[in-house]
Amino acid sequence: MNQKRLQQQIRQLAADQGALLMAHNYERDEIQEIADITGDSLALSIEAKKTDKQIIVFCGVHFMAESAAILAPDKIVLLPRADAGCPMADMVTAEGLRKFKQQHPDATVVTYVNSSAAVKAESDICCTSSNAVSVARSVKAKKLLLVPDRNLGRYIASQTPEKECICWEGYCPVHDQLKVEEIKQAKEDHPEALFMVHPECQPEILEMADHICSTSGMYEFAAKNPAKKFIVGTENGILWRLRKENPDKQFIVPSPVLVCRDMKLTRLEDVLLCLETMKPQVTVPEEIRVKAKQALDKMLAVPRD
Ligand code: 13P
Ligand code: SF4
């Protein structure tokens, strides 16, 4: 079936079923194109919580759909590809975190939403890439355990010198690969370009940035800034909307490594099948859900910068 026809069929079926189509900013272009809402992890969590639709089709990776299921337990949350995971989220387990906490009983655990529900349930508060620094500052304790992303953790630490930050040794296999030489080369090729980057990149890369932000933060920065050229330090799914919303601006990809395999798994056929079968559904055991929700709710209560 051709792409347009498939997209129309999905839209029609979503309307018939009363389903909300959500897509993360890294999803394939054709998926973002038909979504009711596209956004970063924080925006999608907020929407999942407030929508009055009973069915959420979450085009993204497992931890994101799980956050929706935690925040909106009365809704059916569908993840078109059950195998779309996040390698960074898999780098910490609830058991591992419990041991880490035992080593630092006086610390508050700040967990990046790129983590399982079971890990969130062991955490004091969650954060996303768009509110991580505000969340860390909102915590009363001086000592923080930052889980699981060491790069986001080191970024938080650099912005909160008043805190003692201890980072879990996890990382995003996509962002962590971006190299200083690649950014140097991109800057040399495009000296007038501004460099915007996701905090999952290594500290040496963040030091070279004009702006460090979440994926949605990049849309805002590119739209508001008068510059005409931007080097984009995040997964390449972000380019579709950046280019669509800023046709007069140029977006440069500094490296071929910026592709998340898991984010690219979901195809239109998977979305259609999931709406037809109402599967695969993401659920979280109630005991874990309630504890994980506390950590997410605390995060959502933190005022944004
Ligand atoms: P954002 O919350 O900035 O969209 O990031 C999610 C993610 O997985 C980045 O790799
Ligand atoms: Fe996980 Fe990295 Fe993919 Fe984001 S880009 S979903 S952190 S593997």
140-191: per-residue pLDDT in tens? Answer: 999 999 999 999 999 999 999 999 999 999 999 999 999 999 999 999 999 9
Omega within 30 of 0 (cis) for the link into 280: yes
Is 260 close to ligand 2, i.e. is its CB under 6 Å away? yes
- In a domain, residue 257? The reply is no
Indicate whether 50 and 95 sit together in one domain. Answer: no
Q: Tell me 175's DSSP state.
A: G
Burial classification of residue 160, based on how many CB atoms lie within 10 Å of its CB (0-12 exposed, 13-18 middle, 19 or more buried): middle
Handedness of CA 127, 132, 134, 140 (dihedral sign): positive
Indicate whether 35 and 69 sit together in one domain. Answer: yes
Indicate whether 94 and 155 sit together in one domain. Answer: yes
Is 201 close to ligand 2, i.e. is its CB under 6 Å away? no
Please tell me the pTM assigned to this model: 0.96
Output the average pLDDT for the chain: 97
Are 144 and 164 contacting, i.e. CB atoms less than 8 angstroms apart? yes
- In a domain, residue 209? The reply is yes
Task: Say how many residues make up the chain.
Answer: 305
How many structural domains is the chain composed of? 3
Indicate whether 160 and 11 sit together in one domain. Answer: no
Quick one: which ligand is closest to 62's CA?
2
Cβ within 8 Å of residue 177, ≥6 positions away: 255, 257
Q: Is the pLDDT of residue 305 over 70?
A: no
* Helix or strand run (H / E) with residue 47: helix 41-50
Indicate whether 183 and 109 sit together in one domain. Answer: no
- Identify which has the larger pLDDT, 96 or 1: 96
Gap from CA of 1 to ligand 2 centroid (Å): 30
Can you tell me whether residue 203 is helix, strand or coil?
A: helix
**10 to 52, 54, 136, 166: CA distances (angstroms):** 20, 17, 40, 45
Indicate the top mutation candidate among 83, 262, 264, 266 to test ligand 2's pocket, ranked by most ligand atoms within 8 A of CB: 262
CATH number at residue 33: 3.40.50.10800
**Which ligand 2 atom sits closest to the C-alpha of 26?**
5
Indicate whether 73 and 108 sit together in one domain. Answer: no
Encode burial over 233-249: b for 16+ CB neighbours within 10 A, e otherwise: bbbbbbbbbbeeebeeb
**For the residues 241-246, what does the mean pLDDT come to?**
98
Handedness of CA 22, 263, 198, 210 (dihedral sign): negative
- In a domain, residue 63? The reply is yes
**Which ligand 2 atom sits closest to the C-alpha of 234?**
5
**Which ligand 2 atom sits closest to the C-alpha of 172?**
2
Indicate whether 153 and 292 sit together in one domain. Answer: yes
- In a domain, residue 305? The reply is no
Structure tokens at 208: 């070279």
Q: Give the separation between CA 302 and CA 172, rounded to whole angstroms.
A: 25
- In a domain, residue 258? The reply is no
Quick one: which ligand is closest to 129's CA?
1
Categorize the per-residue pLDDT at 192 as very low, low, confident or very high, splitting at 50, 70 and 90: very high
Q: Is the pLDDT of residue 237 over 90?
A: yes
The domain of 153 spans 89-171+287-300
pLDDT of residue 304: 74
pLDDT digits (tens, 9 = 90+) for 36-84: 999 998 899 889 989 999 999 999 999 999 999 999 999 999 999 999 9
Indicate whether 112 and 59 sit together in one domain. Answer: no
Gap from CA of 106 to ligand 2 centroid (Å): 30
Is 40 close to ligand 1, i.e. is its CB under 6 Å away? yes
Is 215 close to ligand 1, i.e. is its CB under 6 Å away? yes
Indicate whether 146 and 96 sit together in one domain. Answer: yes
Is 38 close to ligand 1, i.e. is its CB under 6 Å away? no
